[in-house]
Chains A and B, each alone.
Chain A
Amino acid sequence: MTREDILEELKKVLAHYTPDKETLNSIGPETDFVNDLKINSANMVDIIIEAEERYDIEIDMDSAEKIHNIGSCVDVILEKINEKK
């Protein structure tokens, strides 16, 4: 599983939560969920739950707090996938 694979999967999840489809098409590690993608911060928990289901991982609350932008989100997902191995 590469960072690119996860980024592509993440885009599909984020499509349900961002009103800004243009920004979604050009996201990178620095893209901020709330400021750039205009995602309601309350929905961050839903994005985390969907990521958990897709990768069969568990993102505990301490790890979730590290997620600020696309880059840190991919980091946490990768970390949890690797922990599983």
Chain B
Amino acid sequence: MFASLASILRNDRATSVFLLLLTVVTVLASLANLLFPEGSALHVSTYTLGLLGKYMTYALLAVAVDLIWGYCGILSLGHTAFFALGGYAMGMYLMRQIGNRGVYGDPVLPDFMVFLNWDTLPWYWHGFDMFWFAALMVLVAPAILAFVFGWLAFRSRVTGVYFSIITQALTYALLLAFFRNEMGFGGNNGLTDFKDLLGFDLQANTTRVALFISSAVALAAGVIACRFIISSRFGRVIQAIRDSESRTRFIGYRVDNYKLWLFVFSAMLAGIAGALYVPQVGIINPGEFAPINSIEAVVWVAVGGRGTLYGAVIGAFLVNYAKTYFTIALPEIWLYALGGLFVISTLFLPQGVVGLMNKVMQRKQEARV
């Protein structure tokens, strides 16, 4: 594993540069937040840090989407379902940590259950008071969903737009389901009012910095893992599947299995992203399942440049920064801008920003020659 990490760093310049940059930004931002007092010119506010941390979880989601779309041609329009499931698993842990500090003061039941007059904890809430269990579920819940869904879909060769449409239906069905109070996930309001994580106060500055650094580490680990997969023979097989699925099958590869495991892995990445996202924004509700979120995640990848992992990260940062800026400065404009981004990136930037940069660099090089 370390050997392959070393070989990645040796052979893949773009990824190395990206990892270096990520480390520098993370360390500097954290130090600037912790060492310099508020008001200092060098201080990075906790708000900014939280925002960056949120972007990093989005970036991890984008990497997950890019892995299956950019490298294997599977366009999932329901990937935020996995993101949200990971988020809910983390949210359930955080809910249990509230204990008797809730409005109703029930030592076991979360507030919304007391409100619904439930007197016992539903079976699937058991175990979430332990962090290791919740952390396991962050991976297992999305993986199971992805496995069952993917097994059904890939085995019967549902591909292309059909797959996209049914993934959208999947996340839509989950959205409707999680809206129901009877599901026991807080219905409309979702899970919120979290107090602490592993005993650390979620409002405390140091906790926020720690979450920020965790997100950065998760992102880096995600990118390295994906890099490892892509540069293995497995990676060449999935790209072969992307380019000619039936040919790959005739050579003797069980395409369904390849797609399935890639899909499951990607879902787990999305789940981790969701789990890191929830404590930083302080809420998880069914809105996260909305199909539009999934499509937005695809656009991050498209804008950044699919088929390059760092492109997906760049896309996630660019689009989300634009979103944060526009929704505050010009809320009217945001949907126009986002809509325009979809159109422009598909029509004029098939390889995304990264593709554009490569082209410009190539031209410069040619000019020099």
A and B pair up: no
A interface residues with partner B (beta carbon < 8 Å): none
